[in-house]
Amino acid sequence: MFRLLASSLLLASGLLATAAPPLREAPNPTAITANQLVVSGNACGPTALLNAFRFGNPEWQRASNAITGETDKQRIYTIIREYGMRPSVAIKGRPRWSKKGVNLTDLCDIANEMTRGHYLPQVSQEVLFRTSGETPEKLLKRVHARLNTSLEKGLPPIISLRRFVKRGKLWVPLDAHFVTVTAIPRKLEKGSGSFAISYIDPWGGKACQGSIVIPQHPVLADTPGDSPCLEADFPQASVGKKLVRAGEPTALTLAAVLGRW
């Protein structure tokens, strides 16, 4: 009886292992997560970047190890003061980092300046909205490919999230946030409309899970099929939720990505 039970348990475990899709994971999954709240609520960009380098392979970790400071608070301030306060190329007449945080282009410039001298390749950025002739399914494949390639090359990618709400006939942006991706399925299933994702939210330095999905309801459009972007189904993310009024249609969108491909 015991042997039969043990065999059944082993078979069940084997089936579960077979059923679970193999993951593409961050090279250094046991790294300590940095929490933006030790500095401020608008430090998600520098903190997400610090987490990306830490969770990366030994080569990318050189960039995080080189940051001056004994604590994460000091290290995040170092990123802001040494790199974030330089003039923005994207927005003339202001520094890269401000009370509103940092935009993707400036964060990309910060990343490439932080890696300079460490014999690391350039970090790239990409907007994750549909291009001309691109279907939602093709966009999902493009997003998966970018995240998968960056993880494979040792740098956990950073994704830009943006909360929108529909007020009257217009979709209005409410808030934006950066998080660091730590795991996705290695392959996107044929005909899939979504894929699972694990990420580090710098707001609290939390390990979270969610999904990237093709919207099944209108997002920045009048019909679901016309939605120009993918939706981030992140139950643990609070991005802009407090700014949504009762009864308003809202969506957390996947806006852009920063990584290596």
Average pLDDT rounded to a whole number, residues 239-244: 95
pLDDT at 1: 46
pLDDT single digits (tens) 215-233? 999 999 988 889 999 999 9
Task: For the chain, give the mean pLDDT.
Answer: 92
List the domain range (segments joined by +) for residue 119.
35-259
Q: Is 28 within a domain?
A: no
How far does Cα 65 stand from its chain's mean position? Answer: 21
The answer to whether residue 7 scores a pLDDT higher than 80 is no
Q: Is 71 within a domain?
A: yes
Q: Is 16 within a domain?
A: no
pLDDT at 17: 46
Average pLDDT rounded to a whole number, residues 177-202: 97
Distances (CA, A) of 209 to 191, 195, 223: 22, 11, 28
pLDDT at 100: 87
Residue 67: how many other CB atoms lie within 10 Å:
21
Domain count, the chain: 1
- pTM of the complete model: 0.90
Q: Is 19 within a domain?
A: no
Q: Is 4 within a domain?
A: no
Q: Is 22 within a domain?
A: no
Q: Is 242 within a domain?
A: yes
The answer to whether residue 97 scores a pLDDT higher than 50 is yes
Percentage of the chain lying above the pLDDT 90 cut = 88
Average pLDDT rounded to a whole number, residues 191-214: 97
The answer to whether residue 110 scores a pLDDT higher than 80 is yes
pLDDT at 88: 96
pLDDT at 19: 59
CA quadruple 122, 257, 158, 196: dihedral sign: negative
Q: Is 23 within a domain?
A: no
pLDDT single digits (tens) 121-142? 999 999 999 999 999 999 999 9
Which residues sit opposite 199 in a β-bridge?
Answer: 181, 208
pLDDT at 20: 64
pLDDT single digits (tens) 68-90? 999 999 999 999 999 999 999 99
The answer to whether residue 28 scores a pLDDT higher than 70 is yes
Distance CA 156, CA 246 (A): 36
